[in-house]
A and B are shown apart, each in its own frame.
Chain A
Amino acid sequence: MSESIAVPQETAAWEPKIVAFFCNWCTYLAADLAGTSRMKYAPNARVIRVMCSGRVDPQFVMEALVNGADGVLLGGCHFGDCHYQSGNHKAARRFRLLKRILVGMGIEEQRIRLEWISAAEADKLRDVMTEMVEQLEALGPLNLQVPDEESSEVGESAESAELAEVTV
Chain B
Amino acid sequence: MSDKPKVAFYWCSSCGGCEEAVVDLAEQIIDVVAAVDIVFWPVALDFKKSDVEAMEDGSILAAFVNGSIRTNEQEEMAHLLRRKAKVLVAFGSCAHLGGIPALANLWDRDDIFKAVYLDNVSTDNPDGVLPSVKTPHNGEDVTLPAFYQTVRSLDQVTSVDYYIPGCAPTPNVIGDAVQTLLSGDLPPAGTVLSPDISLCEECPRLETKPQDLSLERFVRPHEILIDEETCLLAQGLLCMGPATRAGCGQLCINGNMPCTGCFGPTSRVHDQGGKYLSAVASMLSALEDEDIDSALDSIPDPIGTFYRYGLASSLLRRRKMTSVDA
B266 to chain A, nearest CB (A): 13
Within 8 Å of chain B (Cβ to Cβ): is A49?
Answer: no
Look across to chain A and name the residue whose beta carbon is closest to the beta carbon of B74: A167
Query: What CA separation (Å) do A149 and B146 show in the bound complex?
Result: 9
Look across to chain A and name the residue whose beta carbon is closest to the beta carbon of B319: A106
B193 to chain A, nearest CB (A): 25
B14 to chain A, nearest CB (A): 16
A149 touching B143 by the CB < 8 A rule?
A: no
B79 touching A92 by the CB < 8 A rule?
A: no
A100 touching B302 by the CB < 8 A rule?
A: yes
- A residues within 8 A CB of B17? none
Known: A90-B281, A168-B50. A149 touches B144 (CB 8 A): no
Interface readout for B272-307 with A: 1 if CB under 8 Å, 0 if not? Answer: 011101101110101111001101100100110010
Within 8 Å of chain A (Cβ to Cβ): is B4?
Answer: no
Beta-carbon contacts under 8 Å, A9-45 to B: none
A43 to chain B, nearest CB (A): 27
Query: What CA separation (Å) do A120 and B275 show in the bound complex?
Result: 33
* Secondary structure class of chain A's binding surface, majority of residues: helix
B77 touching A163 by the CB < 8 A rule?
A: no
Of the residues A92, A106, A147, A168, contact of B292 by C-beta under 8 Å: A92
Query: What CA separation (Å) do A62 and B148 show in the bound complex?
Result: 24
Look across to chain B and name the residue whose beta carbon is closest to the beta carbon of A160: B76
Q: Which residues of B contact A (CB under 8 A)?
A: 48-50, 72-73, 75-77, 79, 106, 133-134, 141, 143-146, 148-150, 157, 269-271, 273-275, 277-278, 280-282, 284, 286-289, 292-293, 295-296, 299, 302-303, 306, 314-322, 326
**8 closest Cβ pairs, A-B complex:** A106-B320, A93-B281, A94-B281, A59-B274, A62-B315, A58-B274, A151-B146, A106-B319
